[in-house]
Amino acid sequence: MNYKIIIQYDGTRYDGWQKQGNTSQTIQGKLEAVLCRYAGEKTEVHGAGRTDAGVHALGQTANFHLAKAADEGELLAYLNRYLPEDIEVTELVRVPERFHSRLNAAEKTYRYRVETGCCKHVFERKQIYRMEECGGMLDQESMQRAAELLEGTHDFKSFCANKRMKKSTVRTVKRIGITRRGTEYIFDFTGDGFLYNMVRILTGTLLEVGLGRRDWRSMEELLEARDRSLAGFTAPAQGLTLLNVRY
Structure letter (DSSP) for residue 23: B
Structure letter (DSSP) for residue 12: T
CA 129 to chain centre: 15
At 132 the pLDDT is: 74
In angstroms, rounded to a whole number, what is the distance separating the alpha carbons of residues 126 and 190? 22
CA 150 to chain centre: 18
Average pLDDT, the chain: 95
pLDDT at 135 over 70: no
Q: What is the pLDDT of residues 140-154, one digit of tens each?
A: 999 999 999 999 999
Domain boundaries defined on the chain: 2-95, 107-246
* Annotated active-site residue in 10, 52, 71, 155: 52
Residues, the chain: 247
Long-range own/partner contacts, residues 123-132 (CB < 8 A, 24 or more apart): 126/10, 126/12, 126/56, 126/238, 127/10, 127/56, 127/238, 127/239, 127/241, 128/184, 128/238, 128/239, 129/235, 129/236, 129/238, 129/239, 131/207
Q: What is the pLDDT of residues 51-105, one digit of tens each?
A: 999 999 999 999 999 999 999 999 999 999 999 999 999 999 999 999 999 999 9
Domain formed by 2-95, architecture: 2-Layer Sandwich (3.30)
In angstroms, rounded to a whole number, what is the distance separating the alpha carbons of residues 205 and 228? 11
CATH number of 107-246: 3.30.70.660
pLDDT band at 134 (very low <50, low <70, confident <90, very high): low
At 77 the pLDDT is: 98
Angle CA 55–202–170, to nearest 5: 100
10 is catalytic: no
| Cβ–Cβ < 8 Å for 87, 31 | yes
Class of residue 163 by CB neighbours under 10 A (exposed 0-12, middle 13-18, buried 19+): exposed
At 228 the pLDDT is: 97
pLDDT at 136 over 80: no
Nearest to 127 by CA among 242, 50, 49: 242
User: Once rounded to an integer, what is the mean pLDDT over residues 180-194?
Assistant: 96
Answer yes or no: same fold for 2-95 and 107-246: yes
